[in-house]
Amino acid sequence: MEMIAQVLRRQGWGALGVDLRTARSGVVTFTLERSALAEARGVGSGKRCALMEGMLRALLAQVAASPMAVREVRCAAEGAATCTFVATGARRDAALRESVESAGGDLAGVLRALGEHA
């Protein structure tokens, strides 16, 4: 992942960080500081990093050799300090989508909800 983070940073996409503390439960959290997608039009309403979601989903599916689900929990375009993404196996996509929609940008709430759907 470090190599991918370096490429993204060099190409101006932002600084990607990976948090593996919840990996044992099948969930990985990513942060993207200075997201080019989020900063392109300034702070407004709505998340803007769907492209990064797709890129992370494809990359992780290749690494895991299994379909993955990735959702943006919070976005700098909405005023968050960083863009934050949560990734898990595709079988938990519905639970991930539901938890992101109901958590209102609360990462801890998303992680708790996913723990209940393990």
pLDDT score of 109: 94
Mean pLDDT by 10 residues, the chain (118 residues): 87 92 94 90 83 94 96 94 96 95 93 80
- Within 11-49, residue ranges assigned H as helices are 36-39
Quick: pLDDT tens for 60-86.
999 999 999 999 999 999 999 999 999
Strand partners, 88: 27, 69
Segment (H or E) for 62: helix 50-64
Q: pLDDT value at position 53?
A: 95
Report the DSSP beta bridge partners of residue 61: none
Q: Domains in the chain and their CATH numbers?
A: 2-85 (3.30.1380.20)
pLDDT at residue 116 in the model? 67
Model pLDDT, residue 45:
75
pTM score > 0.85 for this model? yes
